[in-house]
A = this chain, B = another copy of it.
Amino acid sequence: MTRIPAPERREALVQAALRVVAERGVAAATTRAIVAEAGMSLASFHYAFVSRDELMTELINFVVDRQENALAPLLVPDGSTRTLHEAVRAGLEHYFAVLRAYPQREKAMLELTQYALRMPDMQPLARRQYDRYRALAASALAGAAKLTGNRWARPVDEVARQLVALTDGLTMAWLVDRDDDAAAVIMDLAADAIVALAEPATTTPSTGHPTPTMTRTS
């Protein structure tokens, strides 16, 4: 009907595809289901994309970039944070609140990751996805330590890797049994584990000048 530039059509189709994947899964994201969701005809799909594979690739790239923007503000500790433990716990809580509010979104992310792992040419996309998660976590962790007067006893990349692993485990656990109390237990223990990797910051190592900041509060 109306004439729409190709780039806009591509974006509309990608977003429609994401909705379909979130609501009904990757397997249900057929070209027909996607164009129906976008309110277009089937032919429009192949005008904007040469193939379904091309759309799936763009979809994964899209969600990876989007994830970065969506999660970044959540992991930055706010002014009310006093201890590192509070900051980490708050970050986990924030992540969990999003998971709880939009479970299909995280389910979609997991499915898309596994989809990428099955496609010979898409492994790099899955890696990029996790690299971003970790970079995001690392910068949040670095900021949180700095703000609370701590430093990481391990390379911050390793701490970030652990935080992402814990977050994946939390996500799977909650998606499977939807048990908020059990999720809270995981977050408690995860925060303890992460904070145990930090120590009070000192301007010079081994200085007899401990900062008043606590490494951990239980």
Contacts and interface: CB of A to CB of B under 8 A. Distances in A.
Interface residues of A, number: 40
Contacts of A154: 189
Interface string A146-181: 000000001000100110111111101101110000
Contacts of A170: 165
How many copies of this chain are found per oligomer?
2
A175 B24 CA distance: 24
A69 interface: no
Interface of A: 24-27, 107, 110-111, 113-114, 117-118, 126-127, 129-130, 154, 158, 161-162, 164-170, 172-173, 175-177, 182, 185-186, 189-190, 192-193, 196-197
9 smallest A-B Cβ distances: which pairs?
A165-B169, A193-B193, A168-B169, A169-B169, A25-B118, A162-B189, A168-B172, A130-B176, A126-B176
